[in-house]
Structure 1
Amino acid sequence: MATQPKIMGILNVTPDSFFDGGQHFDVADAIQNAQQMIEQGADIIDIGGESTRPNADAVPLEEELSRVIPVIEALTKTTNIVISIDTSKPEVMTQAVQAGAHIINDVCALSAEGALKIVADLKADVCLMHMQGTPRSMQNNPVYGDVVEDIKYFFERRINACVDAGISKNRLILDPGFGFGKTYEHNLEILRRFDEFKFFGLPLLAGLSRKTMIGQMLGGRDIGERMIGSVTGAIMAVQNGANIVRVHDVLEMKDALMVLNKVG
């Protein structure tokens, strides 16, 4: 992976995602938004058909497929953009890659039954994210000994599971999962010590965009007022080793990275 960080633009084809839920629920709107992010400088479009916000409801398989596959197919026909599928369902992974997706972004780190075996046979990179619990339960009472060391132990086990299943290590990306089963203090500690995840020698993804932790840093700002804080947090992650930043605000992130690149 190039040293210049990649921008992953978030495209939620859902009615209930925490920031942009319902905005791109129509396939045509989703495609238009993806094209706008590409024009603004996105390197990757991350397409999700099931919200993973706290207390989110599960989405049936066929419903998730109907949301994401048409968007992937349309973008594959009209652009050369790298497409990521944000899912934990093995069947969605399979059909998404067959439709043209290049990356599987799984908040459950391929823990679903059959996921490891299926992904081993797919030609796609995989982002393994750490989450304590499930979206329904993850914020109830997250507890760690040392949050960074605990996440590193989790990554070690999931990397080994992938390799044992036939997924080569050079296909893997790691995401410590800001906000997924973490308190505000846990999130700050992960951001401060983000460079420790370079231990594995794998690309690192940071996803802080518009999250509650940013609102807390800003004294309680609501979701619509977290853009500058989100970009600043992402830049800090980049300075600590992030190779990919997953964002809602592509143009602003692109500008910030351009300035950082000129200085650094």
Structure 2
Amino acid sequence: MKTALITGGNKGIGLETAKLLLQNGLFVYLGSRNKEKGNEAVKDLNKNGFQNVKAVVLDVTDPETILSAKRIIEKEQGKLDVLINNAGILGNFPQSASDVSIDVLKEVYETNVYGAISVTQNFIDLLKKSNEPRIVNVSSSLGSLTLHSDPDYQFYKVKLFAYNSSKTALNMFTVHLAYELKDTVFKVNAVCPGYTDTDFGNHIGTGKVEDAGKRIVKYALIDNDGPTGKFFSEEINPETDHIAW
């Protein structure tokens, strides 16, 4: 049985992604900063017939919880097949480039960039034990330099410097990691789940969480002939295989 870890997996897009992976026969670890909330999510999944799921305390900004989660998964599974770096924060406002607080920048990058990198680096050896290791970095079209330079981009005016640039940095990490692993069976991609109706965006998004989950799972389960080192935003451009960075 394949095993997956989802950071920020106890609600929203992370939880929906977990459901879809469970439906595909994977054992799923829900990374949750709060133990109680993680266990509540597991209980809800159990009530809906999903049994191969477990919550692990994992705060991507806390190295001790990352190592603790790794020890649990290593002891119970011996490997990791899928890592989904889903945990993220939007950050406080305002976020204009001319006056955004350095404290806001640090806070957003701590989770969205350094946290994702830290989790990946800590779990890379367990992923290397998989026959088909997959890494999905949950990004955003808001991190695309190409799109943000295009006045016709539907979110062109959404200039949230801290958040947007953190996703740009995450995209760069994706490219570099994929290049480093290009001669292996790893597949490393960045995926935009879309402008989704969740707590993360105060429920002003228009997309369905089910669609967001499907977009992520598609690249979490791609076969060995699938892409790597790409950025996908099917909400923005569903006609092409990937979007320019």
The TM-score range, normalised by the shorter chain, is 0.3 to 0.5
**Normalising to structure 2: TM-score of the pair?**
0.41
TM, length-normalised to structure 1: 0.39
